[in-house]
Chain A
Amino acid sequence: QKEVEQNSGPLSVPEGAIASLNCTYSDRGSQSFFWYRQYSGKSPELIMSIYSNGDKEDGRFTAQLNKASQYVSLLIRDSQPSDSATYLCAVNPRHAGGTSYGKLTFGQGTILTVHP
């Protein structure tokens, strides 16, 4: 089982729709969770971070975390063609020393295409 799993897609949604991206992780002790957006030929860009169960909203983006089910999701409302990119889920695993800092584990990414 991969440590962080994402549906590779591509996920295609019409402009104005809600895009839903999902991610599951294997380490139950994981502490923090991130969504990165990566345009083709560019570097990953941090768009959301979430640390506790529930929803976190930032503009058109909502991150959802359910630690009991070990999944994290990203909702993009009113999707725009400019949202077309690969979305990477990243998980900060339990740190052996007891601190939350450690290596991020990235999923393979979900390709999102928003068509006009």
Chain B
Amino acid sequence: DAGVIQSPRHEVTEMGQEVTLRCKPISGHDYLFWYRQTMMRGLELLIYFNNNVPIDDSGMPEDRFSAKMPNASFSTLKIQPSEPRDSAVYFCASSPRDTDNEQFFGPGTRLTVL
């Protein structure tokens, strides 16, 4: 069974450009999570969805960040405009309902904003 799929795996962009990260959760999982990981701040939850509905976006750093989940098999995280301090690894994770929040992570997208 395929795990969580993320694309692209690496993204290098210039400050001010729009960045879109993509995620396909594990089939049948009801919950989808977006995280950001940096050396300084560790692993931070940005937003999570339940059945495609955003439940908690309190971790989204500012209005430049937005996330959508148009259907059960696809989600995007968009940064517009991007800034150098957004450079980090962004992970998507998904979780089935009946495991009390056991989350399975995708391979991540390493974002570098120049």
Contacts and interface: CB of A to CB of B under 8 A. Distances in A.
Interface of A: 31-32, 34, 36, 42-46, 49, 51, 88, 90, 92, 100-104, 106-109
Contacts of A107: 42
A103 B108 CA distance: 19
Given A49-B102, A101-B101, A42 B43 contact: no
A34 B102 CA distance: 8
B43 A106 contact: yes
Consensus secondary structure, chain A interface: loop
Contacts of B105: 36, 43-45
A92 B31 CA distance: 14
A44 B45 CA distance: 13
B100 A108 contact: no
B48 to A, nearest CB: 7
B103 A46 contact: yes
A109 B42 contact: yes
Contacts of A34: 101-103
B107 interface: yes
Interface of B: 31, 33, 42-43, 45, 48, 56, 91, 97, 99-108
A43 B101 contact: no
A100 B91 contact: no
Given A36-B105, A46-B104, A92-B100, 20 more contacts: A32-B101, A43-B106, A43-B108, A44-B91, A49-B99, A49-B100, A90-B103, A92-B101, A100-B100, A100-B101, A101-B100, A101-B101, A102-B101, A103-B45, A103-B56, A104-B33, A104-B101, A104-B103, A108-B42, A109-B42
